[in-house]
Amino acid sequence: MKKAIITVVGKDTVGIIAKVCTYLSENSINILDISQTIVQDYFNMMMIADLSKSDKTIGAVASELENLGKEIGVQVKVQTEDIFNAMHRI
């Protein structure tokens, strides 16, 4: 399984989850776990996703989601699970 951590942060607005999830679905990327919260009008979502059935590289997914984020006014970051774990090890 090729897992990635996807984070979405920005001012809350209608359709953020729908647009990000639509992109993932259209690219055969399965959401394994998802958490989202809104704190004083700021939206924060973190997903663990399986990219193993997608034809796209993680670099292409990261670039396309970053561009999608710009279109909808949020910041979207994608990291492989290994990099995320290494960065957050104490």
- In the chain, % helix, strand, coil (3-state, to 5) comes to 35, 40, 25
- Contact in structure between 18 and 45 (CB atoms under 8 Å): no
The predicted model scores a pTM of 0.87
Indicate the number of domains in the chain.
Answer: 1
Segments forming the whole domain that contains residue 35: 3-88
CA distances from residue 2 to 14, 27, 29, 46, 51 in whole angstroms, order as listed = 30, 14, 10, 17, 5
Residues 34-89 pLDDT 10s: 999 999 999 999 999 999 999 999 999 999 999 999 999 999 999 986 665 555 56
The domain that holds 48 is classified in CATH as 3.30.70.260
Average pLDDT of 15-43? Answer: 97
**Three-point CA angle 89, 69, 31, nearest 5°:** 60
The confidence score (pLDDT) of residue 1 equals 78
